[in-house]
Structure 1
Amino acid sequence: MSLMLDAARVAAGLNVLLLLVMIGVWANTYREVRAPFTLASIVFAGFLLAENAVALYFYFNAPAMPTVAVQVMMILQILETAGIGVLAYVTLQ
Structure 2
Amino acid sequence: MSIWVDLAKVSTGVNVLLLLVLGYIWGRNYLTFRSKHTLGLLIFSVFLLAENALVLYYYLVDPTLSGWWHDQISPVWQAQMIIHGLQSFGLAFLLWVSWD
- Residue 67 of structure 1 is aligned with which of 44, 66, 74? 74
How big is each residue's C-alpha offset from its partner over 1:56-76, in whole Å with a ceiling of 9 and x where there is no partner?
Answer: 112222412111101100111
Counterpart in the other structure of 2:83: 76
Q: Within 5 Å, which residues of 2 pair with 1:23-42?
A: 23-42=23-42
Match of 1:58, as an amino acid? Y
Which is further off, 79-88 or 50-59?
Answer: 50-59
TM-score of the superposition, structure 2-length normalised?
A: 0.88
**4+ long deviations beyond 2 Å:** none
Distance 1:72 1:26, change over 3 A: same
In the alignment, structure 1 residue 53 sits paired with structure 2 residue 60: no
Question: How far apart, CA to CA, are the structure 2 residues paired with 1:62 and 1:51?
Answer: 19
Alpha-carbon deviation of 1:32? 1.1
Aligned residues: 93
Match of 1:43, as an amino acid? I
Counterpart in the other structure of 1:20: 20
Over the matched positions of the two proteins, sequence identity in percent amounts to: 39
How big is each residue's C-alpha offset from its partner over 1:1-47, in whole Å with a ceiling of 9 and x where there is no partner?
Answer: 11111101111111101110111111111111100010000001111
Question: How far apart, CA to CA, are the structure 2 residues paired with 1:29 and 1:72?
Answer: 35
Gaps of 5+ in 1: none
Counterpart in the other structure of 1:91: 98
Match of 1:81, as an amino acid? S
Alignment RMSD = 0.9
Distance 1:48 1:62, change over 3 A: farther
Gaps of 5+ in 2: 61-65
